[in-house]
Amino acid sequence: MKKIASALISVYYKDGLEPIIHELNKNGVKIYSTGGTQTFIEGLGVEVEAVENLTSYPSILDGRVKTLHPKVFGGILARREEGHLSQLEKYNIPELDLVIVDLYPFEETVASTNDESTIIEKIDIGGISLIRAAAKNFKDVTVVASRKDYEWFLNVYKEKQGQTEESDRKELARRAFLESSHYDTAIYHYFNAGNDAPGFKHSILESEVLRYGENPHQQGVFYGDFNALFDKLNGKAISYNNLVDIDAAVSLMREFVGQKPTFAILKHTNACGLAQRDTLLQAWTDALACDNVSAFGGIFVSNTALDLATAQEIDQLFYEVIIAPDYNADALELLSSKKNRILLKIKSWDAPKKTFRSLLNGVVEQDADLRTETAADFKTATTKSPTPSEVEDLVFANICAKHLKSNTIAIVKNKQMIGMGCGQPSRVDALNQAINKARSFGFDLKGSVMASDAFFPFPDCVEIADGEGIKAVVQPGGSIKDQDSIDYCNAHGMAMVMTGVRHFRH
C-alpha cells in the first residue's frame, strides 16, 4: 500500500472532479495544478500550488507548454529508491504520487469543425506525456487518465483510506495506456483521412460486446461505429455473423446504387439470389427464385426504398436482416411487427479505401477491391462478339463473380443470377455446382452467360458451358493457355470477353 501525499491535476473537463478534490484535501494531499484546473480547484476553497511556481516558468506559447519540465516529470518518473530520491532532493523536485489528467477533446473537435488550426490545437502534448510517464511508473505513482475513471479511483481511494495497492495502480496504468493508444489512434486517423476501414477508426472505448463471436464458445467484440452507417429500425442485437453478412451485402449492393431496382439475398456472405428488374417486387421475386431454399434465414438487401407490396412478400419468409436506403411507412409498420427481425436503413454506400484482416500473429492491410468493370473495359477475345443484351448480362455476371468466394462461377440470364458455384477447390467444381444449382431450381441455361473470377487454365470450363447452352463468357484472362479456351469458343460459336482484372475473394 502507498499513501498519496501529492498530486498533479490537469484536466480539460472538470465534471466529476469536485468529490476527488475534496477527498484529497481531507487527506492532506498537496495539490499542484495549472490554468483552468487551478482556478477550478481554488474555486472549491481548496489550496493549490501553481505548477509555474514549481518550475519557475510561466505557461508559454499560448498554453502549448505548461507542464513539460524536469521538475514535473522528475517527480513523476523517479523510482522511490535511494538513487532517484537523492537526485530529487539535489534538484529540489517534489515527489508526485498521483497524476489526474483529462485530455483535450480531439475527437469532439474533429466532429464539430473542419477548421484545421482549431483541430490541431486540440492535440494534447503535455497531458498525454503526463499520462505515459505516470503509467510507466505505476509501481510508485497512481494515474487517472480520463474522467471516465474518476469514480473508480475515488471508490478505491476512499475504501483504502488515502492509499492504493500496486494492483490498483497497475489497473489504472492499463487504462491509461488504453486511453493514450485510443487518443493517438484518433489523431492518426485524422491525418490518414480517406484511407481507413471504418472499424479501425475506433478503439475499445467505442466497442460493442457481442452476444458471442462466430460460435457460442467464442467471445466477440465489434470495434466500430455501426450507428454512423445505419439506423437500426427494428430487431434484436446485431451478432458477429450478422455483421459479417451485412458487410458482404452492402459491398454487393453498392455496385447497383442508382440503377434499376435490384434485390439480393445472401447466405453466409455469398449471394444466393440476385436480380434487377423494373420494379422492386419483381426484383425480389426473381432473386428469391434463384434459390428459395437458401434464402431461409438470409440477409436481404435492396438498392431502393422498400414498398408495401414487396414487404408483404418478404414477410412470409424468415430472415435475419433487411437492409434498404429507406422504407415506406406502411412497409416499415408491417415488417416491424416481428420484433426480432433486424431492419436497417443504410445512411451511406461509401466504401472504405482500405481493408484489414487478422492473419497469423498480425494484421494485413490492402487496398479495397473497388474496381468494377463496365462494357467499355471488355476486350473481345473471340471471333464472335457478344450481343448487346449478352454484354449487359456479362457486366452483371462479372459483378456477381466479384462478390462470391473463390473459386467461383456465376451464371446469369436476363440480369438474374440463375446459378452460382463458390468456394470450390477447382473452377470446374464451381461451374458444375452452378449448373446443378440452376437446374435444381428449374432454370433453362440456354442463352445464359457465365463469369469466372479468374482465368481458365484449361478449356474444360468453356466446353462444359457450351454443352449447357451458355453462349458468352467473361473472365480476366492471363493464363498461358488462354488461347485454348478462345479456340474452343471460336470453334463452337461462343463469345468470350476478357477484363484483365482478377477478383479473387478468399
Q: What is the pLDDT of residue 111?
A: 84
Q: Are strands 230-234 and 342-346 parallel, antiparallel or unpaired?
A: antiparallel
Determine the pLDDT at residue 59.
Answer: 73
Considering only CA atoms, which of 103, 202, 95 is closest in space to residue 145?
Answer: 103
In whole angstroms, give the CA distance from residue 304 to residue 257: 8
Provide CATH 3.40.140.20 ranges for the chain: 225-346, 375-498
CA distances from 109 to 91, 116, 123, 190 (A): 39, 10, 10, 11
Looking at residue 405, its pLDDT comes to 95
Q: Does domain 375-498 correspond to CATH entry 2.40.10.120?
A: no
What class does CATH assign to 2-191? alpha beta
Residue 27 confidence (pLDDT) above 60: yes
CA dist., res. 143 & res. 174, Å (int): 10
pTM: 0.66
Looking at residue 83, its pLDDT comes to 80
pLDDT over 90 for what percent of the chain? 65
Which carries the bigger pLDDT value, residue 486 or residue 93? Answer: 486
Residue 340 has pLDDT above 80, yes or no: yes
CA distance between the termini of the chain: 54
pLDDT of residue 204: 38
- Fill in the amino acid letter for 472: A
DSSP string across 348-404:
-----SEEEEEETTEEEEEE-------GGG-EE-SSSPPPHHHHHHHHHHHHHHHTS
Torsion of CA 210, 211, 216, 220, to 10 degrees: 10
450 falls in which pLDDT band (50, 70, 90)?
very high
Question: What pLDDT, on the 0 to 100 scale, is given for residue 332?
Answer: 96
pLDDT at 201: 47
Mean pLDDT of 463-488: 96
pLDDT tens, residue by residue, 389-405:
999 999 999 999 999 99
Which residue did the predictor score with more confidence, 183 or 374? 374
The whole-chain average pLDDT of the chain stands at: 90
Q: Give the residue with greater pLDDT, 133 vs 88.
A: 133
Residues with Cβ within 8 Å of 167's Cβ and at least 6 positions away in sequence, in order, are none
Q: What is the per-residue pLDDT for 63?
A: 67
User: Looking at the annotation, which residues are catalytic?
Assistant: 136, 268
The confidence score (pLDDT) of residue 271 equals 96
| CATH architecture of structural domain 225-346 | 3-Layer(aba) Sandwich (3.40)
Per-residue pLDDT tens digits for 141-193? 999 999 889 999 999 999 988 889 899 999 999 999 888 888 888 888 788 77
pLDDT attached to residue 190: 83
Per-position DSSP letters for 148-179, written without gaps between them: GGHHHHHHHHHHTTSEE-HHHHHHHHHHHHHH
> Mind giving me the DSSP string for 309-357?
HHHHHHTTS-EEEEEES-B-HHHHHHHTTSTTSEEEEES-----SEEEE
Among 19-28, 121-130, 315-324, 412-421, the range scoring the smallest mean pLDDT is: 121-130
Cell numbers for 315, please give them: 414477410
Give the bridge partners for 323, in sequence order: 301, 344
Reference 301, options 317, 318, 325; nearest CA is 325
Tell me the C-alpha distance between 367 and 196, whole Å.
Answer: 10
Better-scored residue on pLDDT, 400 or 225: 400
Cα distances from 318 to residues 296, 298, 300, 309, in angstroms, run 6, 8, 11, 17
The x, y and z cell numbers of residue 237, run together, are: 442485437
* CA atoms of 342 and 242, how far apart (whole Å): 9
Q: Which residues pair with 240 in a beta bridge?
A: none
Residues 53-73 pLDDT 10s: 777 667 767 666 766 777 788
Length of the chain: 506
Q: What is the mean pLDDT of residues 358-384?
A: 94
Partner residues linked to 31 by β-bridges = 7
For the cut 70, the answer to whether the pLDDT of residue 235 exceeds it is: yes
Tell me where in the chain the CATH 3.40.50.1380 domain(s) lie: 2-191
Short-list 36, 92, 40, CA closest to 69: 92
> With 90 as the cut, is the pLDDT of residue 109 above it?
no
Would the pLDDT of 90 be above 90? no
- Residue 123: predicted pLDDT: 86
Checking if the pLDDT of 264 tops 80, the result is yes
**Contact between residue 346 and residue 250 where contact means Cβ atoms under 8 Å apart:** yes
Model pLDDT, residue 227: 86
- Residue 2's pLDDT band (cuts 50, 70, 90): confident
The pLDDT of residue 198: 47
Under DSSP, the state recorded for 474 is E
Least confident stretch, 33-47, 179-193, 239-253: 179-193
Query: 3-state DSSP call for residue 449?
Result: strand
192-224 confidence digits (pLDDT tens): 775 555 444 444 345 576 878 899 898 888 888
